């Protein structure tokens, strides 16, 4: 149970930071709703059919949830870097699993709140309806896993290259959504990008969910492929984070990040 207490400690830390940070409140309410509202109004202006409007609304909802969850995972390192305390954190007997998963738990709680708020808002404003509880739970799980992977990648880049790449905490998710077909089928992408789209788990989770609205997936076995890719990437990134931490400790990167 020692690992559980360590994970809980990081989850509680992120909760306290989020509770005391006004901008964490805007991440949950302001920006996701602004994004959803702009997309929904555009859909009404274009007089889109119900299923087509649902297609782009699922993209807006996904964007809001994904950004909130992956930022919490990214903040697992960034909070310590900004407070110049990362060397003190890593003096404790912890590993990569503890701070990543602890932060992810809080991210999932905040992401679930964002998801419920956006679905309720879109249902009232744009007559959006979910295809069912079970498909929605599978889809939301996929979005949470995708956010975990993006957050882990941000942490990896920070450990390797320092604070100058912290901008990836906000840009990496946007780039991944661009390739995964957040507002359009991936078949509209140039052919060289289709391979990149296939390698992104979020692509498959979006296709799985949108199939319930009558849009056939470009890639087969969407849900299974998304889960398999997610499991593979998570295992690989945990191994890479362990390597990056040892390298950062040897090269003095941990100390430089605390200055």
Lowest mean pLDDT among 53-62, 160-169, 175-184, 209-218: 160-169
In this predicted model, what pLDDT tens digit does every residue of 87-146 receive, in sequence order? Answer: 777 777 777 888 889 889 999 999 999 999 999 999 998 989 999 899 999 999 999 999
Q: Specify whether the CB–CB gap between 203 and 146 falls below 8 A.
A: no
Q: Specify whether the CB–CB gap between 124 and 37 falls below 8 A.
A: no
Tell me the average pLDDT across 165-176: 88
CA-CA distance, 27 to 33, in Å (whole number)? Answer: 10
Tell me the average pLDDT across 144-156: 95
Task: Tell me how far the alpha carbon of residue 205 is from its chain's centroid.
Answer: 13
Q: Is the pLDDT of residue 182 over 90?
A: yes
List Cα–Cα distances, 248 to 121, 186, 251, in angstroms. Answer: 44, 38, 5
Tell me the average pLDDT across 179-192: 92
Tell me the average pLDDT across 51-70: 94
**Residue 55 binned pLDDT confidence (cut-offs 50, 70, 90):** very high
Q: For the chain, what is the mean pLDDT?
A: 88
pLDDT on residue 215 = 93
**19 — phi, psi (to 5°)?**
-65, -35
Q: Is the pLDDT of residue 86 over 80?
A: no
**Residue 6 binned pLDDT confidence (cut-offs 50, 70, 90):** confident
Locate the domains of the chain by residue range.
Answer: 2-257
* Residue burial 205-230, b: 16+ Cβ < 10 Å; e: rest: bbbbbbebbebebbbeebbebbbebb
In this predicted model, what pLDDT tens digit does every residue of 216-250 receive, in sequence order? Answer: 999 989 999 999 999 999 999 999 999 988 888 88
């Amino acid at each position: 149970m020692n690992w559980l207490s360590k994970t809980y400690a990081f989850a509680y830390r992120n909760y306290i930071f989020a509770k005391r940070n006004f901008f964490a409140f805007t991440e949950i309410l302001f920006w996701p709703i602004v994004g959803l509202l702009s997309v929904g109004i555009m859909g009404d202006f274009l007089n889109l059919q119900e299923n087509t409007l649902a297609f782009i609304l699922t993209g807006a909802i996904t964007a809001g949830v994904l950004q909130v969850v992956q930022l919490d995972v990214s903040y697992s390192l960034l909070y310590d870097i900004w407070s110049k305390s990362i060397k003190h954190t890593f003096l404790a007997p912890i590993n990569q699993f503890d701070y990543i998963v602890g932060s992810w738990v809080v991210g999932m709680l905040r992401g679930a709140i964002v998801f419920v708020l956006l679905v309720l808002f879109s249902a009232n404003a744009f007559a959006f309806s979910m295809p069912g509880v079970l498909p929605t739970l599978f889809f939301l799980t996929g979005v949470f896993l995708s956010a975990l992977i993006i957050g882990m990648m941000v942490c990896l880049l920070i450990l390797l290259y320092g604070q100058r790449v912290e901008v990836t905490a906000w840009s990496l998710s946007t780039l991944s959504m661009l390739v995964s077909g957040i507002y359009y089928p991936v078949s509209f992408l140039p052919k060289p990008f289709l391979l990149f789209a296939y390698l992104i788990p979020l692509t498959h989770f979006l296709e799985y969910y949108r199939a319930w609205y009558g849009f056939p997936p470009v890639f087969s076995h969407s849900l299974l492929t998304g889960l398999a890719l997610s499991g593979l990437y998570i295992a690989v990134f945990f191994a890479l984070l362990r390597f990056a931490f040892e390298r950062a400790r040897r090269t003095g990167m941990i100390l430089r990040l605390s200055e």
